[in-house]
Amino acid sequence: MVAGVDVGGTKTLALLVAVDADGTPVVVDREQVPSDANSPEVVGSIVDALGAVLARASTPVERVGVGLAGLVDLTGVVRRAPNSAGLNDVDVVGAVSAAVGLPVVTDNDANCVAVAARALLAPDAQHLVAVTLGTGIGGGLVVDGQLVRGAMGFAGEPGHMVVDRNGVPCPCGQRGCWERYASGTALGRLGREAAEAGRGTSLVTAAGSVEQITGEHVTTLAAAEDPEAVVVLDEFADNVALGLANLLVVLDPEVVVVGGGVIAAGERLLARVRSTLATEYPHAVDRRNVQVLGSPGGPEAGALGAALIAAG
């Protein structure tokens, strides 16, 4: 028995997971608490959610895995988290293991999604890319069957690949990062821009005002076939395809997994991403057989992967 925690921008989820001998995970309990990744109190939310499932566990829990947004170094200290300021330079391993009395491992949240996706969707895949489109964009890369961590543990951060050097400023200090165009945050911005240009009447009605339009309004209305929201979602999908094309030419994966809050848009988003890859980026997709899939486990994929990393 292991536990996995996923620390999101606004909530923290802990799972209790039984892993059988061939590595198949079964979720046996869950606890979600509200949290604010920009507040130092976010570590307390990890301990609260985890404490709840540990208290209810009927068999001993051996280890805990925690998935975090941002650059997590090889010792478990968060070194740079532009979208989770409350975690900057926090020793999450030390703080959480002291609080719960168990060994703790941490990893980047998109690495966790990559591990869960491989276990559940593509156990034979040796080359897999996972991207999580949420507040920012996380990335998890499996190459030759292994998670790629890099020299410091910071590898797989495609959200800060620059796609326009004169582009939108990013909290990381660069301009034109991919996540400014293809994260959940970016989807909200595209919705607001469409509304300001008079092409988002239904978005304004749903949100109450232009300023209040979020990515969720766009995905909800697009799912209901609202034509203006569909145009915004299609533009967004084209931005997603742009970054994926760059990853394909560098990494040549068999499977690309798309997760994060934006995946609520489901097949409508994925179908447009696939068709744009095929039409706009022939060099990236020709002679390959890449599958572009939605992440498994829905919003629990990150916590599930964290548990699998803890299980080793």
CB of 171 to Zn ion, least distance (A): 7
CB of 177 to Zn ion, least distance (A): 3
Which of 170, 311 has the CB closer to Zn ion? 170
Which of 160, 274 has the CB closer to Zn ion? 160
Would you say the C-alpha torsion 45, 48, 51, 55 has a positive or negative sign?
Answer: negative
Interstrand relation of 255-259 and 128-133 (parallel, antiparallel or unpaired): parallel
Which of 38, 174 has the CB closer to Zn ion? 174
DSSP letter at 295? P
CB 55 within 8 A of CB 3: no
CB of 148 to Zn ion, least distance (A): 20
User: Exposed, middle or buried by CB within 10 Å (0-12, 13-18, 19+), for 62?
Assistant: middle
Q: Which of 202, 176, 178 is nearest to 191 (CA)?
A: 202
CB of 170 to Zn ion, least distance (A): 3
CB 114 within 8 A of CB 143: no
Which of 58, 166 has the CB closer to Zn ion? 166
Residues lying near Zn ion in the complex (CB under 5 A): 160, 170, 172, 174, 177
CB of 161 to Zn ion, least distance (A): 9
Which of 44, 167 has the CB closer to Zn ion? 167
Task: Supply 253's token pair.
Answer: 């994966």
